[in-house]
Every structure is written in structure tokens, then in C-alpha cells.
Structure 1
Amino acid sequence: MKRLVIVLVAVVVVAAAGLAVTRSLRPHLYAGTVLQSPQPAPEFTLPAHTGAEVSPADHRGDIVLLYFGYTHCPDVCPLTLSSVAKALDQIGDDAERVHLMMITVDPERDTLEVLGDYMGHFDESFLGLSGDPDEIARIAALYGVFYRAGEGDESTGYVVDHTATLMAIDPTGALRVVYSPEIGADALAPDLKELLG
């Protein structure tokens, strides 16, 4: 009987070890589109609502989540920023190594002060970036982002059609994963943990 108990315990230990090894060897399945040949993320420097000039390179060794949006966006921008904020809550202390930068696609209305107020509604660490409209257009083109203001003006209001993907720049500075605007916190959080290593 003792021998049977020892054999059963040994089988359970070996099975548990095998399961742990299998899980560690299985590649992580990302919720976004993984770029198979990651390239260095295009460099830029823009003023942030904090008053500092910022660049993704400032956060080498961490993750930068890059998003192009605007503060008057009626739907996708607040949903995406809210999902990122919730994902950061889920990863605990690792959230300090994830930096969200939103570059405005509406620099006419999105002053740095307006961006600061807006970003603070989601997470105090989120950075709102603006700058010269031509420079923003150049950076957007480098990242494959399209945007176009609709009919209207500042007094009547208008919407801006824009590419709404969220891009993850990994700790090496490579553009690694692109997420659809529907990404939820529960799907994003494990990806952030994986990217951080």
C-alpha cells in the first residue's frame, strides 16, 4: 500500500511538472496582430501636456502604447483609453513600465491644456501630445495612420475620421503589436505582461 501511494504521488508530481513545462514552451497568443519582422518604431519628439518634449525613445526598456486620437472623439478614443487604463490596473506594479502616448489628430482644438485635462480622466500617467500640424501629419504617415477632419469648424463642431489602432512598441524600441480599437482590458493585460518579459 505504501508503495502504491509513493507511485501515485510520483505520477502526480511528474504530470504537474510536465504541464508546467508544456505551458512555458507554448508561445503566447497575442490579442493583437504581431508584426512578424518587427522594425524599429519611427522616432519623433513632440510636446506633451506636461510641458516636456517626449519621444518613445525616452522609455526604452519599457513598453510604449502609441495611439492617434483626439479629445472630441465621440466613441472609439475614450473606449480605447479606458481599456488601456483598466489593463494597467490589472497588471499591478508592472503598469509603471507601460507608457501611453496619444498624439492628437486635431491639433486645432487639442491644445496641451485640453489634452492634459482629457488624459487625466483615464490615467494620470497618460501623455497627450500635440504640435505643428505638418509634423503630426509626417509622424502619422510614418506609422501608417490616416486622418481627415470632417465638415464644420471649431465653432460648429466636427469629427475627425482616423485610424484607431493602438500600437505597442516593445522594450527594445521595435513596433511589435498592433491592436484593433475593440481591444478590451482582459485581452490587453496578458499581452503587456508578456511584452515586459
Structure 2
Amino acid sequence: MTQWMVAVGPEQFQSERLYQHDQLEVPLPAVLPMAAGDPVALVAAGGAVAEPVVFGLARVVTPPYPVDRVPDDPDDADGAGLPAAMVVEYLLRAVDRPVPLVELAIPEAMEFEPGDPAVLGEPGYGRIVAALGPRPSPVTPKREWLVSLDLPIEAESPAEAVRIFWTYVRQLGPAELPAFVSPRGDETAMRPYVLGAEHEMDPEEDE
């Protein structure tokens, strides 16, 4: 079993922060093959990401396939010369508390190229695991949160108001619409979130 460090771009990292995915696609390494079950350290790098950060642990779950092909779908033909990808599933998410890669002092990270997965030795992978902390226990109850989205809608009927509401949600999405979050039973602790992060509301936005 080989440990890997794989980078995704800023757009995919933002998507991971906005939506709860169980799996994601990662690029194939140029030399050694990945195998199902291989552990993977997930890194965000490039673009708007100021410096590479580790945001999760995963494991490989599929053999490689062309990125525009649905795995195991015989009606979806392979395309010649297309880049291939692997699918990994999360073991641990740290998208809200990523760890700067430079702080881990991993030798393999010195020559790490975002487009090409790198093999990690046991010490390097162990540092990442320790930095991200333990996985959540599957038997420990999770805290309940109340999440709301309030939009003033002008409409001729309740049904029309609902349609307009969902139209706004689809068009604007989490990049522009603040969602209000509070622990269940403590609505006074409500906070607005935009783009997966706490957002300070402009007083004029409440009017």
C-alpha cells in the first residue's frame, strides 16, 4: 500500500468547502500506479490559494478512468487521449481548518507539483495525520444546528413566492446568499455564513 499526496485546484477546493461530498476526483500520478485502498492526503494549491494547505484524508476507491466517462457505464464510450482520474472517498475532512503544508516540514513536499501526485513516506504521512487530528467517532452523536435562509419575496401567492425563492437560491447560490446558522436551542448565537465561512453582515444588507 502506497501513501499519496494529491493536490486539487482552487475551484475544486472551494466546491469542497461549499458542498458536502463523499467522494472527489483526483489526477493520476505520472509514474507509479495508484491502487484501490491507497491512503491519500488531499492538498489545495494554486490560484487563489495563497499557499498549499492540507484539507483532508481519503482513500482510493476506483481504478483510473477518463475524466469525462462514467465508471462502469458501457454506454459511455472512452475518449482517446483523455487524461485519467481516480476517485477517492473522504476518511477525514478538514476543509474548515486546513493545515499549511509548509508547517509540516515534509521532505516530499519540497518538490511537490500540484498536477502530479507524490508518494509519501510513512513519516510524512504520519505528520499529516497527526496535524489533522483524530477522525470523528461514528458512534458519537453530532451536534444539531438550525440553518435558515431568509429572503423577502414579492409574489401574488404563497406558491409563487416559493418558486421565486428557489429560483433565487439556484441563481445566487452559496457564493452570494448568506445562510444563518445557530446551535439548536441557542438561536441567540446565530451567525451568517457565505462561501463556507463566517461573514460579517453589512447593516444595509439587513434592511
TM-score category (smaller protein): under 0.3
Which protein, 1 or 2, shows the higher relative CO under an 8 Å CA cutoff with sep ≥ 6? 1
Length-normalised TM-score, structure 2: 0.24
Larger fraction in helix: 1
Length-normalised TM-score, structure 1: 0.25
